[in-house]
Structure 1
Amino acid sequence: MVVTENDKEKILLFEQHEHAKACGDFAEAWRDEYFIEKKKRDEVVYAIVEHDNGWIELDEKPSLNKKTQMPYSFINYPLKPKLKAYTNGINRVEDIDNYAALLCSLHFSSFFEGYTNGRGEGFLKQERRRQQRLMEKLNINKKDRALQFHYELLQFCDNLSLYLCMNTPGVAKKNEVNWFRSGFSQKFAFNQYQTISAHWLDEATVALSDFPFKNEVTVSINYKAIKKNHLINLPIEYEQLPVHQRTVSIVKG
């Protein structure tokens, strides 16, 4: 779940799989001439759309963090069930497509690269074994140029969609979520590997400093809003809440 505070009274909840659908829209809109190894495009888009499907069951029944009195988000969700969700999601993708599963595995294992405190160590070992097995089956290696591009594309689409969910629409650049204030970390050949940054033009429009899409892209992301004084019964209340949409157009900066 992507959790944001709308105001002093309400919390906005974006299910991970809903945010991933917008990621897929971005991948579909990527300019053909910027897409490396176009024959894999369907597999890459599938990976991007489905990369968060392991969260579906958890997000259907969100839970309350008793310490913060806020719903658990994807950031602070308890590690054991989160890692199980990651594993289940990658398994589901692998049942359909090996290359898409490789991309998803690389994406989730990147969260734990460099850890020295044991958090996620077992998951990382598990996914490195999976990656080796899949790369042998696909006859590619981790330094493959196309694989690197597809991996960066997944992460960029993921971050751009999170940017839309986590920020208040229309927010000034200086007040954005600090994850994205300095731009996105993914780099691409089409703009000579320069940092791509985003900023809100108004409450329904975001501009990119470098534009990789065929045309202006408009996405709608479903979410629910819950009053803070209703959080005590979060799982029951959540099921009954109406669905809203955040609709945003991505344009040239």
Structure 2
Amino acid sequence: MIVRKLADGRLFCINQTSHALMAAQFCRAWGNDDFAPPAPVDIVRMAVAQHDNGWYEWEIAPKLRGDGVPMDFVHDDDPVGKVALWRRGIDRAAQQHPYAGVLISGHAARLYGTYPGHGLSAAAQEAIQRFVDDHARQVETLRAAWADQPAMQRWLAPAHLDANITLLQFCDVAALQVQMPWERRRIFSDVPVDYAGATTDVTMTWDDDTIAFAPWPYRVHDFTVSVHGRVPARQTFADDADYRQALDAAPVAVMTWRVAAG
């Protein structure tokens, strides 16, 4: 869950699965003369759209923080459970296509590499390290299982796989940047421009109406992205049941941005 505080103090509660759908909108038109399009395009787009699907069960019955405020992914207090959540989502995506599962596991493994869990319990750190190790094994297992499939071997080549994971992360963070929200300007380093290892930096700026990227990585002149969520009438709740009831009764809100060259 993403819990955004609005200007009037109300909370805008966005499911991770809805966030991921907006992230996929940043992938839909990716590719032009300067940026290679995703390959395999349908599977990469699906992986972006499904990268947080492991949250589905949690979001059916969302929880509160200890102070009665809705729990979000930033304040999640169950790191071992979060690893299990990642595994569930990866397995689910891999049932649609194993390459999608590898992309999502690579995304999560990179996140754990950036935020390795220092200060967590020994059990949590062990679960995280085992997850990261399992990703590497998953890639090798897939290479062996699809040894007679030239296309899959191309997609699993280190530079190709790295580029697709980086694209997934670009789309994920671009969506989070405006949903959380974070700073109005962000530089994405090492954004892939091809599948041979070439990269560039892309600068993102945004306001309440428009998101801009420079250089422009899309084949269209502009497009829109949007995310929906719910705005409950209160900001704190007596217990989980009280929160869930209020969330179910809350009106739906939609945020939309135009995306164009910066």
Q: C-alpha offsets along residues 21-50 of structure 1, whole Å, 9 cap, x if unaligned? A: 122222121125422574x11111111111
Tell me the equivalent position of 1:209: 214
Q: How many Å apart are 1:229 and its aligned residue?
A: 4.3
Q: C-alpha offsets along residues 143-202 of structure 1, whole Å, 9 cap, x if unaligned? A: 5222121111101011111112112xxxxxxxxx25x74422442237x733212222x4
Q: C-alpha offsets along residues 73-106 of structure 1, whole Å, 9 cap, x if unaligned? A: 1222121222121111100111111111110110
Whole-angstrom CA distance in 2 between matches of 1:152 and 1:250: 20
Verify the 8 A CA contact 1:9 1:228 in the aligned structure 2: no
**Secondary structure, in 3 states, of the residue corresponding to 1:62?**
coil
Verify the 8 A CA contact 2:69 2:236 in the aligned structure 1: no
Whole-angstrom CA distance in 1 between matches of 2:84 and 2:38: 32
Verify the 8 A CA contact 1:36 1:146 in the aligned structure 2: no
Verify the 8 A CA contact 1:99 1:138 in the aligned structure 2: no
Match of 1:239 among 248, 254, 260: 248
Q: How many Å apart are 1:217 and its aligned residue?
A: 1.8
Tell me the equivalent position of 1:221: 227
Q: Normalized against structure 1, the TM-score is what?
A: 0.84
**Secondary structure, in 3 states, of the residue corresponding to 1:100?**
helix
**Secondary structure, in 3 states, of the residue corresponding to 1:28?**
coil
Matched, 1:252 2:252: no
Pairing 1:112-191 to 2, within 5 Å after superposition: 112-113=112-113, 115=116, 117=118, 118=122, 119=125, 120-139=128-147, 140=153, 144-167=158-181, 177-178=182-183, 181-189=185-193
Whole-angstrom CA distance in 2 between matches of 1:238 and 1:37: 37
The residue type paired with residue 129 of structure 1 is: R
Kindly report structure 1 stretches of 4+ aligned residues shifted beyond 6 Å: none
Once the two structures are overlaid, the 10-residue window that deviates more, 76-85 or 47-56, is 76-85
Summarize the Cα distance change of 1:35–1:231 in structure 2 as closer, same or farther, 3 Å threshold. Answer: farther
Mark the runs of 5 or more structure 1 residues left unpaired by the alignment.
Answer: 168-176
Whole-angstrom CA distance in 2 between matches of 1:149 and 1:56: 27
Measured on the aligned residues, the alpha-carbon RMSD in Å equals 2.4
Whole-angstrom CA distance in 1 between matches of 2:117 and 2:45: 33
Identity, % of aligned pairs? 24
Verify the 8 A CA contact 2:5 2:12 in the aligned structure 1: yes
Verify the 8 A CA contact 2:186 2:205 in the aligned structure 1: no
The residue type paired with residue 35 of structure 1 is: A
Verify the 8 A CA contact 1:196 1:208 in the aligned structure 2: yes
The residue type paired with residue 74 of structure 1 is: F
Mark the runs of 5 or more structure 2 residues left unpaired by the alignment.
Answer: 148-152
Tell me the equivalent position of 2:9: 9
Number of aligned residues: 239
Q: C-alpha offsets along residues 38-79 of structure 1, whole Å, 9 cap, x if unaligned? A: 4x111111111111111112122221110x543221222121
Whole-angstrom CA distance in 2 between matches of 1:222 and 1:53: 16
Tell me the equivalent position of 1:172: none
The residue type paired with residue 112 of structure 2 is: F
Matched, 1:44 2:44: yes
